[in-house]
Amino acid sequence: MTMQIADSIPLSASDAKARAQAAAAQDNLRTEPRAVRITIIALAMIFLTIFVVLPLVVVFAQAFSRGVVAYLAALAEPEALAAIRLTLLVAAISVGLNLLFGLVAAWAIAKFDFPGKTFLITLIDLPFSVSPVISGLVFVLLFGAQGYFGSWLRDHDIQILFAVPGIALATTFVTFPFVARALIPLMQEQGTQEEEAAISLGASGLQTFFRVTLPNIKWGVLYGVLLCNARAMGEFGAVSVVSGHIRGETNTMPLLVEILYNEYQFVAAFAIASLLAMLALITLIVKTVLERHLDEGQEPSDH
Amino acid sequence: MTIEVRNLVKSFGSFKALDGVDLKVDSGELVALLGPSGSGKTTLLRIVAGLDWPDSGEVFINGEDALAQGARERHVGFVFQHYALFRHMTVFENVAFGLRVQPRTVRKDEAAIRARVKELLDLVQLDWLADRYPSQLSGGQRQRIALARALAIEPRILLLDEPFGALDAKVRKELRKWLRSLHHEIHVTSIFVTHDQEEALEVANRVVVMDKGRIEQIGSPDDVYASPATAFVHGFIGESIELPVEVEGGAVTLGGRPLRLTADGLAPGASKLFVRRHDMLVGPPGSGAFEGAVRHVRNFGPVQRAEVALSGGQTIEIDAPRDKELRAGDTIGLEPRRYRIFAG
């Protein structure tokens, strides 16, 4: 494999002239006529504009359709503020829990061999493959008045459904895979040698985790947390089933957007939607930065 | 510090990595564990370090039961084949790691840690790399840093797992010499694992040859080369000609033809005859125990290597001095100057 690459590129590949030659040679390999190339690229651009850029523009256009004052007033509504607060709270809870679960699961899968490991890896993906509505229904079945724990919960006066705990649980379930998925391949690739080295140098388990393991996976952790957070704030289906839509109490931002829209309050609906859209844009930018760090962390192996 | 293991057994599923291993290493020795891959040498090393646990058997470091301790308490310096440097730390912090994670009661103050790290970087002659990251170093430099890091904790013993296995041939040779002189300087009891016989014979005071989870021979480099204890050792160390022979009443036959060789005291039956390539002396046809036709001759280094088809049908390779003129097509006689016959 290496030999073939070495053969096809001049040996003095480090010098700029040879590199230019190689680039020219590569250019010649593109046999498609110019017109075909332009058509394909144009098709892709048009598609992207209609399905991605245009909706984004429309969201902001609608939000500001009656001016900045109306936009800000819509966001300052008590109902809107309550939804924003609830969304932030739920996201904080589910990201925190999934950070913990994800780290533990990835650690167990990447660093140890145990029976049922493949099953566990498959199971981690379950929330991605199940429709969010069903994820929400599962919690209704478990904690609802007619559910398995329903009577016990009522006896002890604990409210889970149609309250913050239910929303947080459903969101945590739906967003569980993000941190674990980001970390498993990273930790598997890094192996256990650095940890072994740390322990043989006298480090305790906690010292090994905080001084060796965590610094090695920090970009992966941030990446997982970022995606987990974006999904937690944007989750609609599962939350809609368990929330009960109590205005000012159990409405998250996505739920409020739908309610306002159904009530023809377009400015208010799109004002909230614009916040979610901004979250998406920021997530995208941070994601790109993190991916660059993740790539840099990948040390080229030299053997 | 001494190391002793008694009757170690370790299996991975149905694969027996160690099958009853006994070994004693004296204080200040530099011992090589030599064997092909899968012979159990790395497993043995990892068990001594506390990174793996045996199914049964005992391990003593300086007379203390090491199996009662975790890797953390054993105070063993371990050097990995792929260095296992902490990639997010500078060279300086890598070497300082073992000093920084010590319990507060015994931890050195910052100035003492700095002085010690500086001393170790001087020892491995890489003090000018203190602020670099591992990814900015060459393989040989990384392995020297890994060694400095292992030595920082003043280990009772030093264990090296194929320390030069990932390096190219030239760097490997340099580091070999360097390791030997370093050991001369600091005299810590050391075991290193290798599959490279040249490395083992050149660096170690004593060589432990392993195969299939068992120790085949323990001896000085001279011993294992000059008087191999088993057929495996003869075949593994140095380049040998191996011929299947029959032993019957002190006489040796190859494919039914008697050879003018003696096998006094050997049990009758199928056996293996071993001759070092350079111990086959070339003479005129009919002059030696064997006769054959030269197929190819290749000249390199101080010898010429000839492929010879023996009259019995076997093909062997011999190393002859260059002043002996050999050409393809010649018929020659061959007489082994030294040989060994092993039963089996």
* pLDDT 10s digits, B41-56: 999 999 999 999 999 9
Range of the structural domain that residue A106 is part of: 68-297
Which residues touch A11 (CB under 8 Å, ≥6 apart)?
none
Chain B interface, mutation test: which of A113, A193, A201, A221, most B Cβ atoms within 10 Å?
A: A201
CB pairs under 8 A between A and B: 76
Name the residue among B48, B18, B305 with its Cα closest to residue B189: B48
* Number of domains comprising chain A: 1
Tokens 């003095």 found at: A12
Q: Mind listing the pLDDT tens digit for each residue in B194-240?
A: 999 999 999 999 999 999 999 999 999 999 999 999 999 999 998 89
A72 falls within a domain: yes
A19 falls within a domain: no
Q: Mind listing the pLDDT tens digit for each residue in B99-127?
A: 999 999 989 999 999 999 999 999 888 99
Residues facing residue B254 across a β-bridge: B257
Is residue B316 within a helix (H) or strand (E), and if so which, with residue range?
strand B315-321
The closest CB to that of A202, out of B49, B88, B101, belongs to B101
Query: Dihedral, CA atoms, A88, A92, A95, A96, nearest 10 degrees?
Result: 180
User: CB–CB of B76 and A211 under 8 A?
Assistant: no
Is residue B293 within a helix (H) or strand (E), and if so which, with residue range?
strand B290-300
A75 falls within a domain: yes
Domains of chain B, earliest start first: 3-233 (3.40.50.300), 241-343 (2.40.50.140)
Chain B residues in contact with A200 (beta carbon < 8 A)? 49-51, 71-72, 74, 76-78, 150
A163 falls within a domain: yes
DSSP notation for B246-279 = EEETTEEEETTEEEEEE-TTPPSEEEEEEEEGGG
The closest CB to that of B49, out of A194, A200, A207, belongs to A200
Name the residue among B38, B98, B104, B39 with its Cα closest to residue B74: B98
The closest CB to that of B153, out of A201, A211, A212, belongs to A201
Which residues touch B295 (CB under 8 Å, ≥6 apart)?
B306, B307, B308, B309, B315, B328
Name the residue among B274, B323, B324 with its Cα closest to residue B294: B324
A152 falls within a domain: yes
pLDDT attached to residue A156: 86
pLDDT > 90 fraction of chain B, expressed in percent and rounded: 61
Q: Is residue B161 within 8 Å of residue B81, measured between CB atoms? A: yes
CATH number for the domain including A106? 1.10.3720.10
A25 falls within a domain: no
User: Helix or strand or coil: residue B27?
Assistant: coil
Q: Is residue B167 within 8 Å of residue B139, measured between CB atoms? A: yes
Chain A interface, mutation test: which of B73, B87, B143, most A Cβ atoms within 10 Å?
A: B87
Name the residue among B62, B67, B50, B85 with its Cα closest to residue B7: B67
Q: How far apart are CA B165 and CA B200, in angstroms?
A: 12
**A55 touching B (Cβ < 8 Å):** no
Q: If phi over 0 gives left and psi between -120 and 50 gives alpha, with beta otherwise, what is residue B40?
A: left
pLDDT in tens, chain A (303 residues): 333 444 444 444 456 666 666 666 666 666 778 889 999 999 999 999 999 899 999 999 999 999 999 999 999 999 999 999 999 999 999 999 999 999 999 988 988 888 888 898 888 989 989 999 999 999 888 888 888 888 888 888 888 888 899 999 999 999 999 999 999 999 998 888 999 999 999 999 899 999 999 999 999 999 999 999 999 999 999 999 999 888 888 999 999 999 999 999 999 999 999 999 999 999 999 999 988 888 776 544 433
**A303 touching B (Cβ < 8 Å):** yes
A10 falls within a domain: no
A11 falls within a domain: no
Positive or negative CA dihedral for B226, B227, B233, B235?
A: positive
pLDDT attached to residue B46: 95
**A207 touching B (Cβ < 8 Å):** yes
pLDDT in tens, chain B (344 residues): 899 999 999 999 899 999 999 999 999 999 999 999 989 999 999 999 999 999 999 999 999 999 999 999 999 999 999 999 999 999 999 999 999 999 999 899 999 999 999 999 998 889 999 999 999 999 999 999 999 999 999 999 999 999 988 888 888 888 888 889 889 988 899 999 999 999 999 999 999 999 999 999 999 999 999 999 999 999 999 889 999 988 887 788 888 788 888 877 788 888 899 999 999 988 888 888 888 899 989 887 788 899 999 888 889 999 988 887 888 888 998 999 988 888 87
CA-nearest residue to A212 within chain B is B86
Which residues touch A158 (CB under 8 Å, ≥6 apart)?
none
Chain B interface, mutation test: which of A114, A196, A200, most B Cβ atoms within 10 Å?
A: A200
Give the start-end residues of each E strand in B66-123.
Answer: 76-79
- The C-alpha of A302 sits at a distance from chain B's nearest C-alpha, in angstroms, of 8
